Structure 1
Amino acid sequence: MSIGDIAGLIAAIAFVLLVGALAVPLLKLGRVMDEARRSLADVTEHTIPVIDEAATTISSTNGQIAKVDTVTTAAAEVSTNVSALTSLVAATVGAPLIKMAAFSMAVRGLFRRGEKKS
């Protein structure tokens, strides 16, 4: 064997050792990727029903909000009607009461003047 053959043999052995040393991390990386794929599949399997349930809940909530909006609108209309009714009652009853109070004050004043003269 010549020196060139020995150098070639050493280079070949070094290359085999290098390939062996690189194969171990690559195999471990392959296992990690397989485990990550399995974990992702499990997460997806458990997440899809949760998303479907959330969509159903949101749809139901939107229906309830529409009902609440209807009730709120009706309450606002009732409030407006009560305000208008209060104004009407105040105008209808209030003005005569004020006139009656003014009249009674005038009558009292007349009676008091009459008492002072006698």
Structure 2
Amino acid sequence: MDGGQIAALIAAGAFLMLVLVLAVPILRLRHTVDAATRVINDLNDRTAPLLGNVNTTVENVNTALNQVHTSLDGVNLQLAKIDTMTGHAQNVTANVANLATVISAAAANPLIKVAAFGFGVRRAAAARRHAETEREVRDTIKQQRRAAKRANR
């Protein structure tokens, strides 16, 4: 076996270690994606009744408007009902907006973690290269000083 083959074996081992180290976050990311999928499915299941409530509220508003047009005696009472129904509709839309915010945060969070992990790996590799370069420079300076001391003796 010559030096090139040994270097190739070392490089292959290093690559294998890199693959093993990267496999763990990828598997965790898979679990995060599965959890996000479950949350989205749960959201879909919960949104259907909310939309049914919105339809009921709209139907009630239409009924109330028809009653206002046909009966001028109960105008104040009908306006109070419309006010209440509009408040309920606002609550439903606020809940849907909050759910959308939660879903977008859940979808973005794993992506941020992956990006941060990649940045950390790049930064650690750069720091390691920098440390190796500094070590080589220090060793070279020490050797030069030793050689200068020997030459002076």
Larger radius of gyration: 1
Cross-structure match for 1:55:
55
In the alignment, structure 1 residue 19 sits paired with structure 2 residue 19: yes
Instruction: Name which structure has the greater RCO, CA cutoff 8 Å, separation 6+.
Output: 2
In 1, the alpha carbon distance for the partners of 2:69 and 2:6 equals 90
Aligned-CA RMSD value: 2.0
AA partner of residue 41 (structure 1): N
Q: Secondary structure at the match of 1:14?
A: helix
* TM-score for both structures, normalised by structure 2: 0.45
Indicate the SS of the match to 1:72: coil
Cα distance in 2 for residues equivalent to 1:15 and 1:63: 70
Deviations along 1:28-59, whole A, 9 cap, x unmatched? Answer: 11110000000110111011111112211211
Q: TM-score, normalised by structure 1?
A: 0.57
Q: What does 1:22-37 correspond to in 2, within 5 Å?
A: 22-37=22-37
Q: State the Cα distance separating 1:69 from its structure 2 match.
A: 2.4
- How do 1:1-118 and structure 2 match up within 5 A? 1-72=1-72
Residue deviations 1:67-87 (CA, integer Å, cap 9, x gap): 1122239x8xxxxxxxxxxxx
How far the C-alpha of 1:62 sits from its partner, in A, is 1.1
5+ residue gaps in structure 1?
A: 76-118
